[in-house]
A and B are shown apart, each in its own frame.
Chain A
Amino acid sequence: MNKVVANAEAAIADIKDNMTLMVGGFGLCGIPENSIAALVRSGVKGLTCISNNAGVDDFGLGLLLQTKQIRKMISSYVGENDEFERQMLSGELEVELIPQGTLAERCRAGGAGIPAFFTPAGYGTEVAEGKETRTFDGKNYVMERWLRADFSIVKAWKGDPFGNLVYKRTARNFNPMMAMAGKVTIAEVEELVPAGALDPDEIHTPGIFVHHIFQGANYEKRIEQRTVRKRG
């Protein structure tokens, strides 16, 4: 079993115009930097991107917004990106905002073969408009559908040629569910290790969900809000 490809260009080669992508990460933490850069260079357009956030103006998915390669974003919070807000308010960019836990569960459901589920999040709000609602044991719930993608692109700390993945700290976030929900899943990793080097007990994403894996290069890992305390 060898799912290793040379680089981001090779991994994303089959991504075509108007496809739906899931892109892992929370803010700028745990985002597939190399793949995003390769998508910018590829010029692919009309993309629907499912991602918790939309990067910042000059990093993360913000890079694909600048070049107008994204037609629609499905996210939970987009407050960090002025260009995003401009394109949304002007109507250039279609945006679907959904509660963060619902987004995570819709991805998980897509990867788990569960077409729909009921959640209390958004009941009685505009998020529930047009959706089926039901009462279970006296509490109100909204039906939400699974999300699936033509390609899911995730970032992990370590991975092996079987596609097994281990994430680091809070860079895990949406990556494991998105890895499960792609028809094709691309994983970029900081360290590609030989088969057998990862402890099977400690693998977060089993390789069955991953189709292409490559070792990324030159990770910037930009910090969005650098907060520190003084030694004292």
Chain B
Amino acid sequence: MALTKEQMARRIARELKDGYYVNLGIGIPTLVANYIPEGINVVLQSENGILGMGPFPFEGEEDADMINAGKQTVTMLPGSSIFDSATSFAMIRSQKVQLTVLGAMEVADNGDIANWKIPGKMVKGMGGAMDLVASAENIIVCMMHTNKAGESKLLRKCTLPLTGVGCVKKIVSDLGVFDVTPEGFKLLERAPGVSVEEIKAKTEGRLVVEGDVPEMAV
């Protein structure tokens, strides 16, 4: 069975290390905050100007002046700080933010990522994604393995306009976990009940399979 969104978020949460400053993108990446393992303390950065972002407010306590980068009302945890957008991207570009988790439309087996534009169709803009992917030391992409038409999103070469080049380090899809290596996507774990053959069939880019690939514990 392919992973649910919650299971993908839970798997990514296992990549968090104590003391990390982390930027979580919009969509499934945001869910990672719900599964931070016991004993691991991380500080969430939101690029509109928060360190120490907390959960959604209780009903009735929403504050229009307190939103995250997805424009959702949020809260702050004790020890948090607020800053302007230039300072926010200063900490991103200078690699003080240690992990970025974001979604993608396409990833290539050399680490290229495309997630901001479909020419002639969807042009919403890149927001902070280009700054994040060009700067972060550690970038995990969280995405469905195939698009709605069933076509692979893990490609030999991206077809859409790029967001960044050679920057993705790891991918958690609904079918498995992959490292981006010089030889291509290296399969590290399979979703429970998903075969190597199925992953091969749904991966257009170069796939590296070494030995018996374990099933993910979910």
A100 and B73: CB pair below 8 A?
Answer: no
A76 and B127: CB pair below 8 A?
Answer: yes
| Interface residues on chain A, size class | 35 or more
Q: A88-B123, A99-B128 are in contact. Are A170 and B67 (CB under 8 A)?
A: yes
A52 and B64: CB pair below 8 A?
Answer: no
* Chain A residues with CB below 8 A from B161, complex form: 125-126
B48 within 8 A of A: yes
* Chain A residues with CB below 8 A from B58, complex form: 228-231
Residue of B nearest to A26 (CB): B48
* Chain B residues with CB below 8 A from A102, complex form: 130-131
Number of interface residues of B (CB under 8 A): 53
Residue of B nearest to A177 (CB): B86
Contact of B164 among A125, A168, A169, A230 (CB under 8 A): A125
* Chain B residues with CB below 8 A from A203, complex form: none
B59 to nearest A CB, angstroms? 4
Q: A122-B134, A168-B65 are in contact. Are A89 and B120 (CB under 8 A)?
A: yes
A121 and B135: CB pair below 8 A?
Answer: yes
**Would you mind naming 16 contact pairs between A and B with Cβ atoms under 8 Å apart?**
A26-B67, A29-B65, A77-B127, A78-B124, A120-B134, A121-B93, A123-B134, A123-B164, A125-B163, A168-B65, A170-B66, A223-B62, A224-B67, A225-B73, A228-B57, A231-B59
Contacts from A to B (Cβ < 8 Å) = 26-30, 52, 75-80, 85, 88-89, 95, 97-105, 107-108, 119-127, 157, 168-177, 204, 221-231
Contacts from B to A (Cβ < 8 Å) = 46-50, 55-74, 82-86, 88-89, 92-93, 112, 120, 123-131, 134-135, 161-166
